[in-house]
Amino acid sequence: MRWLIPLFILSLVYGATAKRECSVSDFVSVAYSNNDPKERRDRILEWLGDSGQVCTKEQLGLIYANLAQVLGSADTMQIRAKIEQLYERAK
């Protein structure tokens, strides 16, 4: 039973320091995994908040260019503005 506490603490530390990655295919998977436009929008905004910070300009440009196809009716100005903001900050 004692070993559970260090294991739990280790998992928390690892989860907090896990490397974030930007994968365009993950973005598409998140979008295609939901049929409800509102929930799709929310999940995409969450993905952009988590993974969008580490995307390159090339990846963000590819995502932006295909938003209409990938998001459909979940494509909003809020998502486009977030991607533009990330693009300006990207290396």
13 belongs to a structural domain: no
Residue 48: how many other CB atoms lie within 10 Å: 22
8 belongs to a structural domain: no
63 belongs to a structural domain: yes
**Total domains present in the chain:** 1
Nearest to 72 by CA among 40, 26, 48: 40
61 belongs to a structural domain: yes
14 belongs to a structural domain: no
Give the pLDDT score at 12.
52
Cβ proximity of 54 and 22 under 8 Å: yes
pLDDT in tens, 9-55: 555 544 444 557 999 999 999 999 999 999 999 999 999 999 999 99
4 belongs to a structural domain: no
Residue 4: how many other CB atoms lie within 10 Å: 8
What is the pTM assigned to this prediction? Answer: 0.76
Residue 7, pLDDT > 50, answer no
Q: What are phi and psi of 34, to 5 degrees?
A: -140, 135
pLDDT in tens, 67-76: 999 999 999 9
Domain hosting 73: range is 22-89
Give the pLDDT score at 32.
95
pLDDT category at 91 given cuts 50, 70, 90 is: confident
2 belongs to a structural domain: no
